[in-house]
């Protein structure tokens, strides 16, 4: 079922990521990590649906999405980047993507971190973050989505990897790409759940390394 929902607020999260707050329909429910199809309520765009993950929690009074804007793609996210408070989005019902299967390691590339936001916020709210770890790969430091919030939730279990610039020396920044040696240096148990989400080349590479290191492929969850 499609819901046409007004935008209540838009905030910049990074230089190219926006947080969009929408009205929430009565009885609308979803689980942390779930997504939905979203279209822009404007002529020529209503049939252009794209999947986005909720970054709010089910008990919140509004719906929230955290969306990376790609101005050079000439597509839906570019148009979303031009929306203003009072415009509307068409939001379908929720469907499953990444489900939390217990304490483990989250590996995210860029905007692929979005399914993990609600999962980690939910665990934090319940006091159940435990020893979960997030390894987050970005091109530059300014690309890191919700850096301060992840630091607060995860402490030293939030590890940033910067690929396209020299990190600024902060202890949580590591220079270079996530490869097999890197994973071996950061992870001491390959029997725990692994949650992988990012661009397809990132997913395929990480999944391959993890399997080589003995991780159970059943524990590898990724979102296309």
- Same domain? For 115 and 85 the reply is no
The CA-based angle 46-50-54, given to 5 degrees, is 115
Reported as a single tens digit per residue, the pLDDT across 175-212 is 567 889 899 999 999 999 999 998 888 888 898 999 99
Question: How many domains, in total, are found in the chain?
Answer: 2
In a domain, 114, yes or no: yes
Please enumerate in sequence order all residues whose Cβ is within 8 A of that of 27, keeping only pairs 6 or more positions apart, or say none. none
- Same domain? For 152 and 174 the reply is yes
State CA 118 to chain mean position distance: 8
pLDDT exceeds 90 at position 217: no
In a domain, 99, yes or no: no
Distance CA 30, CA 58 (A): 6
Residue 63, Ramachandran bin (φ over 0: left; ψ between -120 and 50: alpha; else beta): beta
Reported as a single tens digit per residue, the pLDDT across 8-37 is 999 999 999 999 999 999 999 999 999 999
In a domain, 98, yes or no: no
The CA-based angle 186-137-83, given to 5 degrees, is 150
- Give the structural domain span for 167: 105-223
* pLDDT the model gives residue 216: 74
Band (pLDDT 50/70/90 cuts) for residue 78 is very high
Band (pLDDT 50/70/90 cuts) for residue 171 is very low
């Amino acid at each position: 079922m499609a819901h046409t929902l007004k935008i209540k607020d838009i905030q910049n999260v990074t230089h190219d990521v926006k947080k969009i707050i929408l009205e929430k329909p009565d009885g609308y429910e979803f689980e942390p990590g779930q997504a939905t199809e979203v279209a822009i309520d404007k002529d020529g765009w209503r049939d252009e649906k794209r999947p986005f993950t909720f970054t709010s929690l089910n008990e919140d009074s509004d719906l929230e999405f955290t969306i990376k804007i790609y101005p050079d793609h000439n597509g839906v996210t570019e148009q979303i980047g031009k929306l203003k408070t009072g415009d509307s989005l068409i939001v379908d019902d929720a469907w499953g993507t990444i489900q939390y299967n217990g304490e483990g390691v989250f590996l995210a590339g860029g905007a692929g971190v979005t399914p993990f936001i609600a999962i980690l916020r939910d665990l934090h709210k319940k006091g159940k973050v435990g020893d979960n770890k997030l390894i987050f790969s970005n091109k530059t430091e300014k690309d890191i989505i919700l850096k301060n919030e992840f630091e607060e939730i995860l402490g030293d279990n939030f590890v940033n990897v910067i690929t396209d610039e020299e990190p600024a020396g902060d202890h949580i920044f590591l220079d270079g790409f996530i490869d097999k040696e890197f994973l071996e240096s950061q992870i001491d148990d390959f029997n725990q759940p692994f949650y992988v989400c990012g661009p397809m080349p990132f997913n395929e590479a990480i999944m391959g390394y993890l399997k080589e290191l003995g991780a159970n492929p059943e524990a590898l969850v990724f979102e296309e």
